[in-house]
Amino acid sequence: MFKLTNKIAIITGGGSGIGRAISILFAKSGAQVHIFDFDLAAATKVVEEIEGEGGIATAHFCDVANQEQVLSLVSKLESIDILVNNAGISNIGKVDNTSESDFDRVYQVNVKGAYNLLYACIPIMKRQAGASIINMASIAAHIGLTDRFAYSMSKGAIFAMTLSVARDYIDSNIRCNSISPARVHTPFVDGFIAKSYPGQEAEMFKKLSDSQPIKRMADPEEIASLALYLASDEASFITGNDYPIDGGFIKLNN
């Protein structure tokens, strides 16, 4: 079950964190993986890891906010069976201390970046027998998170875009779903803690982990497993849904 044999998959932000885990798992499941990432060195390292295990993958330098660049890369692919819109950045701040430049930066990567990939890929997908799109949203699309105004805005947009795309292309057999993780233990989290709380890394890691009812952060591989199911033919009856994977954060954290 949950095989992606010979399917062509684009994964944005596949060079690290959740994207890396998805890229590796999809390749192990038989997909030909194309990693679109701003950090080509990181993406290339993931490709080498995949190829070392017998998988097929290619790394592409890509600024997802640049539509011309996205269109050029996507046009080189004859088919696209799976798109994972995973690339994203965060920002800390309330509305009154979020600068215009920070707001625009989050919008350009998280919202316009997803739009650019959808805009480029869907015409190709419409010519095929079907496709699966997975957008990476967040629990921030469902509940209020302190000091995450711009980030929450972007993930709320991803959630709404998912519903719109699912509705508009259901007759083309293009499925579109989103995943809403809570905190996931990635290098980004470790870097954020080290930068913001020097000397208190262990204490802050425990505090952030304990803020979730399950008392830990998710592993990237757990998010990847859900993405694999949604991308697979076994999920062919599923579209227009968002899947919180949050250790009980949304429903139990009160």
Q: What angle do CA 88, 91, 92 make, to 5 degrees?
A: 150
Predicted pLDDT of residue 36: 98
Question: How big is the chain by its Cα radius of gyration, in Å?
Answer: 18
Predicted pLDDT of residue 242: 98
Residue 181 contacts residue 188 (beta carbons within 8 Å): no
Per-residue confidence band for 207, with pLDDT thresholds at 50, 70 and 90: very high
**Domain residue ranges of the chain, discontinuous segments joined by +:** 8-182+220-246, 185-217
Position 139 pLDDT exceeds 70: yes
Q: Give the residue, 227 or 254, on which the prediction is more confident.
A: 227
Predicted pLDDT of residue 223: 98
Which residues, including other chains, have CB under 8 Å from residue 9's CB and lie 6 or more apart?
Answer: 26, 31, 32, 33, 34, 80, 81, 82, 83, 84, 231
The tens digit of pLDDT for each residue in 168-191 reads 999 999 999 999 999 999 988 898
Position 85 pLDDT exceeds 70: yes
3-class DSSP assignment, residue 105: helix
Quick one: tokens of 23? 């890229």
Reference 38, options 21, 19, 74, 63; nearest CA is 63
Whole-angstrom CA distances from 120 to 68, 73, 244 are 10, 9, 27
Question: For all residues of the chain together, what is the average pLDDT?
Answer: 96
Quick one: tokens of 30? 């038989």
Catalytic residues: 151
Q: What fold is seen in the domain 8-182+220-246?
A: Rossmann fold (3.40.50)
The tens digit of pLDDT for each residue in 15-68 reads 999 999 999 999 999 999 999 999 999 999 999 999 999 999 999 999 999 999
Out of 29-38, 67-76, 91-100, 192-201, pick the least confident: 192-201
Predicted pLDDT of residue 18: 97
Position 253 pLDDT exceeds 80: no
Position 254 pLDDT exceeds 70: no
Predicted pLDDT of residue 184: 95
The tens digit of pLDDT for each residue in 98-113 reads 999 999 999 999 999 9
Predicted pLDDT of residue 187: 86
Ordered strands of the 242-245 beta sheet: 56-61, 32-37, 8-12, 82-85, 131-136, 174-181, 242-245
- Segment 201-230 shows an average pLDDT of 95
